[in-house]
Amino acid sequence: MKKLSLYVHLLMVMTMVMPVYAQSPDLIDEDRDLVRVMRHPDGSRSVYKRQAGWRGMRCATYTASGKLAAINDYTEGRYGQLVGCIIYDSKRQPIYKVAYGYDSNARLIEERMFSHPEGKLVQRVIYKYDASGNRSKPLIISLNTGGGAQTVAPTLDENVQNTHRSLNRRNR
């Protein structure tokens, strides 16, 4: 009876584990480079992977039918904080660059998205923190990119132009 119980238990575990691999073909050939796979309510998925020889991570997003939708290349700083991101379209052409700003407590306070290659500021995401250190919902400011678009005006602790230059060097 104990053997039967053990076999039933193993069969139950296997039926729970096997569908995970069947649903995620990108997990089969991956090992240490895979960080996470996120499934979205619309059926699309995002696959986060570490990049060998580079301090950062790549996020590839696929549609529900499995076609590449976008790629985000995140660059991390010395302490693992995000310092920049390049966003590519489905044809792997860069369309946006993102710079991240932090306060003196190393908390994310702002994300700035710039069009590529124009370098026009198109969006700002601002975070505030309460006295307990809890982050607020983000304040998202989308800027008009037609005609009178904003130009790059660094006001973060780190010069945004330098971040963009270093991201460009990595992509060459």
| Single-letter residue type at 123 | Q
Q: Which residue has the tokens 């991390």?
A: 76
Cβ pair 140, 123 in contact under 8 A: yes
Nearest to 80 by CA among 106, 52, 117: 106
Report the chain's mean pLDDT, rounded to a whole number.
74
pLDDT at residue 31, rounded to an integer: 52
Residue 153 has pLDDT above 60, yes or no: no
Cβ pair 139, 74 in contact under 8 A: no
What digits encode the pLDDT tens for the residues 157-166? 344 445 445 5
What digits encode the pLDDT tens for the residues 70-121? 999 999 888 888 899 999 999 999 999 999 999 999 999 999 999 988 889 9
Rounded percentage of the chain residues whose pLDDT exceeds 70: 65
Looking at per-residue confidence, does 14 or 107 come out higher?
107
Rounded percentage of the chain residues whose pLDDT exceeds 90: 43
Q: What DSSP designation does 157 have?
A: S
| Gap between the Cα atoms of 111 and 28, Å rounded | 34
Q: Which residue has the tokens 């590529």?
A: 116
Say whether pTM exceeds 0.85: no
